[in-house]
Structure 1
Amino acid sequence: MTTDVDRRAARHARTGAQAAIPESAGHAHAHGGPVPPAPWRTRLVLAVLVLPAVVATALGLWHLWPSSADVPERVPVVVEGSELVTATVVGPLEGEAAGDASWPTTEDSTIGNMEIRLADGTTAGMQAEPRFELEAGDAVVALYIGDFAETPVPYVFMDYEREVPFALLGLAYVVVVLLVARWRGLAALVGLAVAFAVFVGFTFPALLSGQDALGVALVTSSAVMLAVLYLAHGLTARTTVALLGTLAGLALTAGIGAWAAGAAQITGASEEIATNLPTIAPGVDLRGIALCGLVLAGMGVLNDVTITQASAVWELRALAPHASRRALFGRAMRIGRDHIASTVYTIAFAYVGAALPLLLTVWLLDQTPLMTLTSGEIAEEVVRTLVGSIGLVLAIPITTAIAAVTVPRAAALDARHAPGSTTMGVRPSEEDTVQERP
């Protein structure tokens, strides 16, 4: 039970403790506020720096844009007289309807026949390999060959029909992005659509027509970044800083990648599908395509780290209006180092997941780890990962430095705060001399 004496003693203790706190240690509030827009001189300098990239991109698009006569014609998927249809599996064919007896029917057979229902409601026979394990109700894509072969099984299984699940996944993705990111998410989706329009309308035709692959990569990445960054993040000084850092990182990635592709003898023909490309498009340069892919692969990760670093510097300025630019750079680089550490293994893990069947196959080969890493199947991805990581690491200090020099000082502080007040826990007079601790 608390008595009056206990309450008086408690008040006395609190009063004594407050009196013991030095006055200079009180009220360590950050009096910062939103960072004001960059001065017109800063915006002018940024515009002057970005303008050459914009002009070079426009000239590159004009110079490298292929004529329709240089682009190889698209190869038809099916020959005349056959067609691809969507159907639903009913079940395995049995008895005479199972088809020609010349097809293997033993237990180790590699071919089985299924009954399918077409869009008009009729049924027909379809040849399919048992390894696909088709079941009743599966939606499939089948090739009609009845006009070319006298067989009661006129369809051949080609693939599963995936339009419906893909549409549902795409819709879920759009809904989640819009719910969480709202208008900025919508702008990012528009930027993504613009990026794919650049790929389909310019990059792919230019590469297939034999245009300089490195030039195509740089023009593509510059055009995509100009559209994506400004659409998603707005026409601001912060976005322009991120763009400059991204372009610098892409230029470094392209230069280092060009050297690495030659020094490591990257041919671009490590995959079977790539070796078939010259037969369809004789003008393609497989090594150049590999180099272009190297640059484009690093584009997304570079965009991520540069916009993060630019935003970090702006937010630090909002919290520390009196911090020196050197202090801002040092503290933002602490964030950058954490980002480097996480991104380095993120890139490696992404490759392991994408190429897991290939890695398992190579692992079964009786050879040393060094021979495995330098083999043709793995070497191209190792070079892509290392070059992309180098460009990423170098882009972080470049972006941070540009941001620290560019970010304006925050709004005027409350003139009434005491001289002993602090900003981000450091006195204004001390922030100019803050040194980063290891």
Structure 2
Amino acid sequence: MPALRFSGFTRETFVSLIVVGCVLVFALPIVLAMWPSQQPAALPNGTTLDYSRAELSDVDLADCAADWIDADSHCGQATAHLDDGGTQNIGITREGWVAGLEDGDRVVVQTATPVQGDVLHSFHSVERGTSLLIFAAITLVLVALSVGGKGLRAFVSLLVSALFIWLFLVTGVHEGGNPLAYSAVTSVLVLTVVLHFTHGFGAKTMAAWAGTVVGVGTAMLTGWIFSSVARLTGITDTTSASVFVTGDIDLSVLALAGLLIALIGILNDITVAQASVVFSLLGFQDAGGHDHGGGGRADETPAQRPGESGAGGDGGLGDGNLTRRQLRERAAQASRSGQKKSPSLMKRALDVGQDHAASAIYTVSFSVVGASLAAFVAAKSFGMPVWALMQSEAVAYTIVQLLAGIVGLTVTMPATTLFAIWFAKWLRGTAKKAKSQDAA
């Protein structure tokens, strides 16, 4: 009787489903208990903000060409014909001038209604919804053609994760929830669902999931220690705006929460690739338990198994055509290979993983520098020396987050390798045992 099959599923698929089910059973009640109320946003002074679409006419941006204008100040005006039929005069910031607004353009209008005083209508942004949908459709087609089904599932996972982060994490923090608690729940739930939905249920996915959880936890702890020792407050221009809008919030905790979310994608990339490397080195075609080596041990490659000839080896002769001396030499070679099989597998997997982790480190570094390039240029414009720039709150916190992410990367790669080897050995042994039971 094939005891290792459950209603058409392999044992590894069954165990993977059980793991995901346990995570969901544990996490979903917490999500429901923490789910924010989704109340309309309002500023601490009681001002409410509404947004609507409109078409412009009578656009006047003559005053926006001045040498220096505050980004939030109105330098132009226009008549906005709202989609609901109303008409309003709106103020336009320099952003609208840079975007080249003119009559007939479609825009988003922000309406601020204070507790006392006049209602203010102003330009918020160019309406880009249609363009973004077209761009997304083009990208989706390219992903489908290049990556296939997994790419499409990854795209769907991205959209669902973004929606969940907005509705649960962002809204929860806005309503006064603990940023770290919301980020931790979001990270575990998103990692579990996205990884298994995109890559399937199996030992390889479980290894990637476990390695990512270890890496994210390590990076979070490292970031907390580094930021505490460096006495970082987390107060930057962006976070100051968050305090103004949200009210009382621990900005240092908010920064760590942001680090958690940022690391999901970075570490997930490392873990999935590293788990695939281990399974490929072991001769697995996929995570379903099929292999190239005919059911040998998990820590053997085909060349290490006695009694098998390689491609063209020994002229294609079997053991029956070898001399006794040749048989002894083959047995001795197999014995020597067997003594080194586990270290060899670990070393080969780590060699590839180290290349991937190293490239990820400088990829992340360049991404951080690119995202902060405008701040660096502004600092240069103010004549700030590099040693002072590196110690400023915004840049120092970025450096701490970067270093914490690198620590997470260094832990994630070997941890995932160990998980993948363990799961792969268990899988190979399970497959071999199942074949023996089926044959019996």
TM-score of the aligned structures, taking structure 1 as reference length? 0.69
Which secondary structure does the structure 2 equivalent of 1:74 belong to?
coil
Q: Which amino acid aligns with 1:75?
A: A
Q: Deviations over 1:271-321 (max 9, x none)?
A: 2x4223334433432221111001111111000000000001111111884
Preserved CA contact (<8 Å) 1:91 1:114? yes
Q: Does 1:269 pair with 2:235?
A: yes
Alignment of 1:47-58 (within 5 A): 57-58=27-28
- Partners of 1:234 and 1:81 lie apart in 2 by 43
Contact 2:53 2:127 in 1 (8 A): no
Contact preservation (8 Å) 1:229, 1:239:
yes
1:313 counterpart residue number? 278
> 1:87, CA displacement in angstroms?
0.9
Counterpart amino acid of 1:384? Q
Residue in 1 that maps onto 2:178: 212
Task: Give the direction of change, closer, same or farther, for the CA distance of 1:227–1:134 in structure 2 (3 Å limit).
Answer: same
- My pick for the range that moved more, 361-370 or 80-89, is 80-89
Conservation of the 8 A alpha-carbon contact between 2:59 and 2:77: no
Pair 1:285 & 2:250 matched: yes
The equivalent of 1:134 in structure 2 is 101
Whether the 8 Å CA contact 1:127–1:157 is kept in 2: the answer is yes
Distance, in Å, in 2 between the alignment partners of 1:395 and 1:112 is: 52
TM-fit CA distance, 1:47: 8.1
Q: Residue 333 of structure 2 corresponds to which residue in structure 1?
A: none
Task: Mark the CA change 1:137 to 1:354 in structure 2 (over 3 Å): closer, same or farther.
Answer: farther
How far the C-alpha of 1:86 sits from its partner, in A, is 1.6
Partner of 2:101: helix, strand, or coil?
A: coil
Q: Aligned AA for 2:92?
A: A
Specify the code of the residue in structure 1 equivalent to 2:42: V
2:223 is paired with a residue whose SS is helix
Query: In 2, distance between residues paired with 1:389 and 1:291?
Result: 14
User: Is residue 2:342 matched to residue 1:325?
Assistant: yes
Whole-angstrom distance in 2 between the partners of 1:107 and 1:373: 33
Report runs of 4+ in structure 1 exceeding 6 Å deviation.
42-52, 78-83, 104-110, 115-118, 120-125
Match of 1:297 among 262, 281, 294: 262
Give me the CA root mean square deviation.
4.1
Question: What SS does the corresponding residue of 2:124 show, helix, strand or coil?
Answer: strand
Q: 1:11-410 residue pairs with structure 2 within 5 A? A: 40=11, 57-58=27-28, 60-61=30-31, 65-66=34-35, 68=37, 73-75=40-42, 84-88=52-56, 92=60, 111-114=75-78, 127-129=91-93, 131-132=97-98, 133-142=100-109, 156-271=122-237, 273-318=238-283, 321=293, 322-323=300-301, 324-408=341-425, 409=428
Residues 1:379 and 1:105: Cα distance change in structure 2 (over 3 Å)? closer
- Shift in CA distance, 242/149, structure 1 to aligned 2, threshold 3 Å: closer
Give the aligned residue type for 1:128: I
* Partner Cα separation in structure 1 for residue 110 and residue 17 of structure 2: 56
**Range 126-135 or range 301-310, more displaced:** 126-135
Give secondary structure in 2 for the equivalent of 1:276.
helix
Q: What SS is found at the alignment partner of 2:354?
A: helix
Find the aligned partners of 1:92 and 1:144 in 2 and give their Cα distance.
Answer: 20
Instruction: Provide the rounded CA distance (Å) in 1 between the counterparts of 2:140 and 2:374.
Output: 31
* Residues 209 and 136 of structure 1, relative CA distance in 2, 3 Å threshold: closer
Any conservation in 2 of the 1:116–1:125 contact (CA below 8 Å)? yes
More helix by share: 2
Contact 2:42 2:49 in 1 (8 A): no
Matched letter for residue 87 of structure 1: E
Query: Matched residues, percent identical?
Result: 27
Q: Deviations over 1:311-350 (max 9, x none)?
A: 0111111188433332222111111111122111111111
Distance 2:21 2:47 in 1: 50
In structure 2, give the amino acid aligned to 1:311.
S
Secondary structure at 2:148 match in 1: helix
Query: TM-score under structure 2 normalisation?
Result: 0.68
Q: Which amino acid aligns with 1:363?
A: K
Task: Indicate conservation of the 8 Å contact 1:221/1:296, yes or no.
Answer: yes
Larger Rg: 1
1:265 and 1:210, CA in 2 relative to 1: closer, same or farther beyond 3 A?
A: farther
Q: Structure 2: where are the runs of 5+ without partners?
A: 1-7, 70-74, 285-291, 294-299, 302-340, 433-440
The Cα offsets for residues 352-387 of structure 1, whole Å up to 9 and x where unpaired, read as 222221111123343442221120121121111111
Cα 1:53–1:229 change in 2 (3 A) is same
Shift, 1:176, TM fit: 1.8
Secondary structure in 1 matching 2:201: coil
Counterparts in 2 of 1:175 and 1:66: CA distance versus 1, 3 Å: same
One-letter amino acid of the counterpart of residue 355, structure 1: S
Q: Distance in 1 between matches of 2:200 and 2:275?
A: 13
* SS of equivalent residue, structure 2 residue 282: helix
**Is the 2:52–2:82 contact (alpha carbons within 8 Å) kept by the matching residues of 1?**
no
| Deviation sequence 1:14-37 (CA, Å, 0-9, x none) | xxxxxxxxxxxxxxxxxxxxxxx9
Relative contact order higher in (CA < 8 Å, ≥ 6 apart): 1
